[in-house]
Structure 1
Amino acid sequence: MDSAGPPRPIEPRPRRRDRHGRGMRGPVAPPQVPLSLSRAESFRDLVQDSVERLERRWPQLAEVDFLVMEVPDPRADSVPLGSALPAGKDRPARVVVYRRPIEIRTKNRDERALLIHEVVVEQVADLLGLSPESVDPRYGDN
C-alpha cells in the first residue's frame, strides 16, 4: 500500500492562446504609437501642466498637495470647480480640482485646459492671499 496519500492533480499549464490557437501574440500597439489615455488621466495631466507652469513662478507651491477629485461634496449649495485648504499642523496645504463639474462646462480639450488653469490659479491665489492676476499675469486672457 502506498502511504503517500491520494494522487495530486496535475497543475494545468497556463494558456498563452485560446483553444483555436489564437490570442495575444504581441503588444496591442507598436512602441512608437502612444496608447490612449482615459478622460481622468488626461484631466490629471492638464492639472499637472498647470501646476508646473505656476511652480516655475512660485517655488513654494512644491509644498502644496494638488488633488483631483471626481465631484465636490453634494451638501454644498453651489457646485465649486475647486477648493483650497490651508496647511494644518500635521498636513500640507491642499488644492482640490473637481473633474466632473469642469468637464461638464467645457466642450473640448483646449477649453478644459483654460478652465483648469483658471481654477488652479484662483485656488492658489486664495491659498497665498493674493489676487489671481498677481499669481499669473495672464489670468483671464483667452
Structure 2
Amino acid sequence: MAWRRTRSTETARRRAPRHGRHGREGRSPVVRPPLPPLDTRVERFDLAVGTAAEFLRSAWPELREVSFEIADMPQAADEDGIPRWTVLSDAKRIIVYRLPIERLSHLHRDDELHRRMMVESCVFRAAAEYLDRDPWDLGPERFRFL
C-alpha cells in the first residue's frame, strides 16, 4: 500500500471547530463548576494580622513606621514559655509568631471568628507593648463603655 501525500490545494475534509487535531471533541475542564480558591490557615492568619496592623496604623501615628512581620516560630522559649510575639523597638519591628498563636491558644469556641479574634488580640497586645500602653487604650473611643 503506497502512501500518498495530499497537497494543500486539494480539498481536504474540514473538521468542525470543536474537534481537536485528532478528530476528537475538545476536553472539558477537570473541575466543573469552578471551585472557590483554596483558603489556607496561613492566608487567613496573614489577613488577620494585616487588617489589625492597618487599623492600628490608621489610629496611632506612632505605628505608621513600624513593620509588622509574621514568623512561624520564635528562636527559643523564654522564662514565661513560648512567646507569641517579639517587639523590637529600636528596629521598629513587631514579629508575630503564627504557630504558637494557632496551636497553643485555648479558645472556648473553636471556630473561624474566635481564631481570628485571638490573632487580632495578639497583634493589639504586641502593639500595646511597643507603645508602652494598655491594650484597651488602642481601641477607638466609640467602643468604650463607661
TM-score normalised by length of structure 2? 0.64
Instruction: State whether residues 51 and 120 of structure 1, in contact with CA within 8 Å, keep that contact through their aligned partners in structure 2.
Output: yes
User: For this pair of structures, how many residues does the alignment match?
Assistant: 113
TM-score normalised by length of structure 1? 0.65
Q: Deviations for 1:77-120, whole angstroms, at most 9, x for unmatched residues?
A: 311111211034xxxx1111111111112533211211111111
RMSD over aligned Cα atoms: 2.9
Which of 28, 36, 39 in structure 1 is aligned with 2:38? 36
- % identical aligned pairs: 29
Gaps of 5+ in 2: 1-23
Gaps of 5+ in 1: 1-20
Instruction: State whether residues 58 and 64 of structure 2, in contact with CA within 8 Å, keep that contact through their aligned partners in structure 1.
Output: no
Does the residue aligned with 2:64 lie in a helix, a strand or coil?
helix
Q: Distance in 2 between matches of 1:85 and 1:25?
A: 53
Alignment of 1:99 with 2:102, yes or no, is no
Kindly name which structure, 1 or 2, has the bigger radius of gyration based on alpha carbons: 2
Q: Which amino acid is 2:84 matched to?
A: L
Runs (4 or more) in structure 1 with deviation over 3 Å come to 24-31
1:11 aligned partner:
none
1:12-23 equivalences under 5 Å are none
